[in-house]
């Protein structure tokens, strides 16, 4: 049988997709190809390897091809797969909200440590996006009463779907952190938009061209958060904020000026300063 008329085996399809993604600038092209095929065929990566010589059905090939093409356009892998792991949860991910990042897991770690002594901490997650932080806290501290705020109705709809899929109860609120927010909280936690407008062009296409711009850039939003949080925190309440590496020290100084105490900076797993936290006196 000639090459052209022979059925396309999984092995050949994987090799072709890997080569295509590598040409499109995807660094871990083979790994991503395997994840995409796993998703398209409903098989684990191990099963793919056990089945390498199996011919693909036309509809299987079509499904995989569609996802590979999307990834080739540098759409984030998490959007292409439609789901992404964050702490113990698998969250639905699409263009309505930022893809939850591994470094944000450190913020959740710190947030949980700050409320571990409380049986029923009142927590506000500002800029919840997919709901990642709010849901991870609700999951890992079952007593926590979590309110999740976002200015984007689309992001909030995704967070609602994620809450339902995870079977976790959080209160979702649509609004701007600079507007009215009802309630008193033991912890205000946030991964606010902190990319500077002049940095946008330097970002990877996945981020620059696909993730919601208002989730990335929010001039003055982290600063407004510091001011709003002290009106919402009870005495002794905590603020924990994820920021870019070069913004931490200025932000920590600002918190000190506003009257926050015990201001500390925690690095992420790569040693980059990542989370600023403080206690409201
Ligand atoms: C960096 S994303 C974080 C998403 C999610 N918390 C996470 O860590 O993956 C910032 C989020 O803040 C929201 N946001 C931006 N400006 C806001 C504002 N003024 N008030 C409330 N939310 C805001 C955006 O819509 C976006 O969902």
- SS3 string, the chain, reads CCCCCCCCEHHHHHHHHHHHHHHCCCCCHHHHHHHHHHHHHCCCHHHHHHCCCCECCHHHHHHHHHHHHHHHCCCCHHHHHCEEEECCEEEECCCCCCCCCCCHHHHHHHHHHHHCCCCCCEEEEECCCCCHHHHHHHHHCCCCEEEEEECCHHHHHHHHHHHHHHCCCCEEEECCCCCCCCCCEEEEEECCCCCCHHHHHHCCHHHHCCCCHHHHCCCCHHHHHHHHHHHHEEEEEEEEEECCHHHHHHHHHHHHHHCCEEEEEEECCCCCEEEEEEECC
Give the Å distance between the CA of 157 and the centre of ligand 1.
13
pLDDT of residue 40: 97
pLDDT digits (tens, 9 = 90+) for 227-268: 999 999 999 999 999 999 889 999 999 999 999 999 999 988
Chain centre to alpha carbon of residue 129: 8
pLDDT digits (tens, 9 = 90+) for 184-226: 999 999 999 999 999 999 999 999 999 999 999 999 999 999 9
Give the Å distance between the CA of 107 and the centre of ligand 1.
14
pLDDT category, 269, cuts 50, 70, 90?
confident
Q: Whose CA is nearest to atom 2 of ligand 1?
A: 215
pLDDT category, 19, cuts 50, 70, 90?
very high
Q: Whose CA is nearest to atom 4 of ligand 1?
A: 129
pLDDT of residue 5: 52
pTM above 0.75, yes or no: yes
- pLDDT of 2 > 60? The answer is no
> Quick one: which atom of ligand 1 is closest to the CA of 150?
22
CA distance 55 to 22: 23
> Quick one: which atom of ligand 1 is closest to the CA of 177?
20
Asked if 263 contacts 238 with a C-beta cutoff of 8 angstroms, the reply is no
> Quick one: which atom of ligand 1 is closest to the CA of 86?
9
Pocket test for ligand 1, best of 89, 194, 218, 228 (most atoms within 8 A of CB): 218
Give the Å distance between the CA of 198 and the centre of ligand 1.
19
Give the Å distance between the CA of 256 and the centre of ligand 1.
24
Ligand 1 pocket (Cβ < 6 Å) reads 97-98, 100, 104, 126-130, 132-133, 149-152, 155, 176-178, 191-193, 214-215, 218, 221
> Quick one: which atom of ligand 1 is closest to the CA of 176?
20
> Quick one: which atom of ligand 1 is closest to the CA of 125?
6
């Amino acid at each position: 049988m000639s090459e052209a008329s022979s059925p396309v085996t999984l092995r050949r399809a994987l090799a072709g997709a890997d080569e295509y993604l590598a040409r499109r600038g995807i660094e871990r092209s083979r790994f991503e190809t395997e994840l995409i095929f796993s998703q398209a065929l409903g098989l684990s990566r191990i099963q793919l390897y056990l089945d390498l010589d199996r011919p693909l059905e036309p509809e299987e090939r079509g499904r995989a091809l569609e996802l590979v093409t999307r990834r080739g356009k540098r759409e984030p892998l998490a959007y292409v797969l439609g789901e992404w792991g964050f702490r113990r949860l698998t969250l639905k991910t699409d263009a309505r909200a930022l893809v939850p990042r591994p470094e944000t897991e450190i913020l959740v770690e710190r947030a949980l440590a700050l409320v571990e002594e409380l049986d029923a901490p009142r927590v506000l997650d500002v800029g919840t996006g997919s709901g990642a932080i709010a849901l991870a806290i609700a999951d890992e501290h079952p007593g926590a009463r979590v309110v999740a705020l976002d200015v984007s109705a689309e992001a909030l709809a995704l967070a609602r779907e994620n809450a339902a899929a995870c079977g976790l109860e959080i209160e979702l609120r649509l609004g701007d952190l600079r507007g009215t927010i009802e309630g008193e909280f033991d912890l205000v936690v946030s991964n606010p938009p902190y990319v500077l407008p002049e940095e946008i062009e330097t970002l990877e296409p996945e981020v620059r061209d696909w993730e919601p711009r208002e989730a990335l850039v929010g001039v003055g939003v982290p600063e407004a958060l510091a001011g709003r949080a002290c009106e919402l925190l009870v005495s002794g309440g905590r603020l924990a904020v994820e920021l870019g590496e070069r913004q931490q020290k200025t932000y920590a100084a600002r918190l000190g000026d506003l009257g926050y105490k015990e201001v500390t900076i925690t690095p992420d797993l790569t040693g980059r300063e990542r989370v600023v936290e403080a206690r409201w006196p």
